Chains A and B, each alone.
Chain A
Amino acid sequence: MDDATPAGAFPVEIRDLTVAYQSRPVLWDVDLAVRPGRLTAVVGPNGAGKSTLLKAMLGLVPAASGWVKVFGEPPARQRRRVAYVPQRGSVDWDFPTNALDVVEMGRYGSLGWLRRPGRADREAAIACLRRVGMDAFASRQISQLSGGQQQRVFLARALAQGADLYVMDEPLAGVDAVTERAVVALLQGLRADGKTVIVVHHDLQTVPSYFDEVALLNVRLVAAGPVEDVFSPENLQATYGGRIGFLDAPGAKATAASAAD
């Protein structure tokens, strides 16, 4: 596989990407290169196309123009190397299944069509649950879990995918403090293992402490790069527009964060 990846290929490289639902553009002419082994946050107001950007990286939405490459190839050819954490609200938590079973679903992709998960998959799933501190809840019905616990089950499932690139849609939205700490520790652990992580994030205040890089998105890409270079009041103003006031005043970031909610 390695020789199929050009040397120095970015985990994600996006050129001139435009995505439209019906005639309304959701992403407009986006160029982005995500650097390997870093934690990258994607921030922007509601309707900025953050989830769509992630889905484009997974090859789930058709591009009106431009292209996306994952490790130098079209996303459809790199599915094994990418793990996905959808928004917690995107699934039906009343589905008749338990936490362990959901985590085991992370193995389905590498199994492919028709092959059934076996003992190795089960054990891998248990190990992933342990990594997020949820092994005691393995046989718990998923609707009986708290929101934060559900989120950790989703993260364990992504770990079970055993990928090189992790793409997460709002894993820190609406979770308790325990889960937030667990998730952040997990992200740092992934980075220490040399993995690349891209996270849609809503809390501007925590961007500098949690992430290395940030992409500011509002249909167009406003700026992207290391947090210390691009996470500036001017760029935030350009991203969130009039919805943020007093950007030059002290506490600007707190104001920005509340505007993002």
Chain B
Amino acid sequence: MSFAAVIILTGALTAASCSLVGCFLVLRRMALVGDAISHSVLLGIVAVFALTGARSGPLLVVGAAAVGLLTVVLIEAVRRTGRVREDAAIGLVFPALFSIGVILVSRFPNSVHIDVQHLLYGEIAFSPLYRVELWGADLGYRSLWMLGGMTAANLAFVVAFYKELKLATFDPALAAAVGLSPVVVHYALMAMVSATTVVAFDSVGSILVVAMLVVPPATAYLLTNRLATMLTLSVLVGTASAVGGYLIARLLDSSTSGAMAAMAGVLFATALLLSPSQGLIARRRELARLRRGLAERLLLTHLDGGHGAGDRTTLRERFGWSARTEATVVRSALARGHVRAEGSGRLVLTEAGRGAAGEIGVG
């Protein structure tokens, strides 16, 4: 496998594992919690290293997941005091845990391998350099094993608990009332987010992790009305960001993780503008269409009421329309056959127009 393929695949697996759980963070309005967890897990990594000397492996994932859960519990505890709002609670908890992690790193001279710089920015470009060996046999690239495993675990989690995740996210009160504890679902999700974060940022750095937890899901949210489709689309958007980001990084000779995260941002902006249902452009068109419809109804009821003589300057004065608005409205009403123009330029309601105006009267 070429180095390029390893790097792209590492990015794509990061995107897939992060966005699967990230969709539920976004839907639960907890995007920032992902950010918090991805920082505070540093404490878990250092603690496991200090206790066991392990710098990778399952123990590290467990330790990080534990600190991730601790983060969530602390945020909830601070929020519950009723003295601090949730956003402030998040902002209070994770820097505290993160900074304890940073202090511990600097206290362990042997921990040079835990490089804070590396954890934050990562260098996915080095991912082809680390391989897995077991009893002397070379098993392949470490990042692919780790992230492939995490993606499989997250996929299994989301598929197995799809119904529970959906209900606990949409209506936690009903979930609790029917015995599908939303608290259990919540902490299970947070544990998966924590594990994903630590596994992923070992290979790609936490900036890309934070981006992939939030940006592809937020993009997918704009493109569909179905949860299953949102999950699939977010994985596709994330993968596209990884591929596109890699190419841009090659072109600009820049940070690969950074380019992948930026690419995700570009895709989001595109969806925000162009999404057929929820994009800004579609929304603006829809709004303009509604306004025109309203103006046309005003015109029809005006003519139907026998007010004015359909004289076009009176229309402008009566409704405060600009000449352009008036022209558009009249053109549209003529095209629909709701009104017709007489020789003098006066507008007269047609039979169809009278019918349309009548409907409005009743409605």
Interface residues of A in 65-101 (CB under 8 A from B): 76, 79, 82, 84, 86, 90-92, 95-98
User: Interface readout for A97-115 with B: 1 if CB under 8 Å, 0 if not?
Assistant: 1100010010011111110
User: Does B227 sit within 8 A of A, measured CB to CB?
Assistant: yes
User: Does A58 sit within 8 A of B, measured CB to CB?
Assistant: yes
Given A84-B174, A111-B163 in contact, is the A96-B225 Cβ separation under 8 Å?
A: yes
User: Does A209 sit within 8 A of B, measured CB to CB?
Assistant: no
Q: Is chain B's binding surface mostly helix, strand, loop or mixed?
A: helix
In the complex, chain B residues whose CB is within 8 Å of the CB of A150: none
Contact in complex: B171, A114 (CB < 8 Å) = no
Contact in complex: B162, A116 (CB < 8 Å) = yes
In the complex, chain A residues whose CB is within 8 Å of the CB of B176: 58, 60
Interface residues of A in 104-155 (CB under 8 A from B): 105, 108-114, 116-117, 141
In the complex, what's the smallest C-beta–C-beta distance from B227 to chain A, in angstroms?
5
In the complex, chain A residues whose CB is within 8 Å of the CB of B227: 95-97
User: Does B30 sit within 8 A of A, measured CB to CB?
Assistant: no
In the complex, chain B residues whose CB is within 8 Å of the CB of A58: 176-177
In the complex, chain B residues whose CB is within 8 Å of the CB of A96: 27, 221, 224-227, 229-230
Per the bound structure, the CA–CA distance linking A79 and B179 in Å amounts to 7
Contact in complex: B178, A91 (CB < 8 Å) = no
Per the bound structure, the CA–CA distance linking A226 and B164 in Å amounts to 40
Given A97-B225, A105-B174 in contact, is the A113-B230 Cβ separation under 8 Å?
A: no
Contact in complex: A117, B163 (CB < 8 Å) = yes
Contact in complex: A92, B170 (CB < 8 Å) = yes
User: Does B360 sit within 8 A of A, measured CB to CB?
Assistant: no
Per the bound structure, the CA–CA distance linking A79 and B174 in Å amounts to 11
In the complex, chain B residues whose CB is within 8 Å of the CB of A179: none
Given A114-B160, A114-B161, A116-B163 in contact, is the A97-B174 Cβ separation under 8 Å?
A: no
Which residue from chain B places its CB closest to the CB of A93 in the assembled complex? B170
Contact in complex: A109, B180 (CB < 8 Å) = yes
Per the bound structure, the CA–CA distance linking A234 and B160 in Å amounts to 56
In the complex, chain A residues whose CB is within 8 Å of the CB of B224: 96
Contact in complex: B162, A22 (CB < 8 Å) = no
In the complex, what's the smallest C-beta–C-beta distance from B188 to chain A, in angstroms?
11
Given A96-B230, A105-B167, 11 more A-B residue pairs with CB atoms under 8 Å apart are: A22-B82, A79-B177, A84-B173, A92-B170, A95-B170, A96-B227, A98-B225, A108-B180, A109-B178, A109-B179, A111-B163
B residues bordering A, Cβ < 8 Å? 27, 82, 160-164, 166-167, 169-171, 173-180, 221, 224-227, 229-230
Of the A-B pairs whose beta carbons lie under 8 Å apart in the complex, a sample of 12, sorted by A's number, is A55-B173, A76-B179, A96-B27, A96-B226, A96-B230, A97-B225, A102-B170, A108-B164, A108-B167, A108-B178, A109-B179, A114-B160
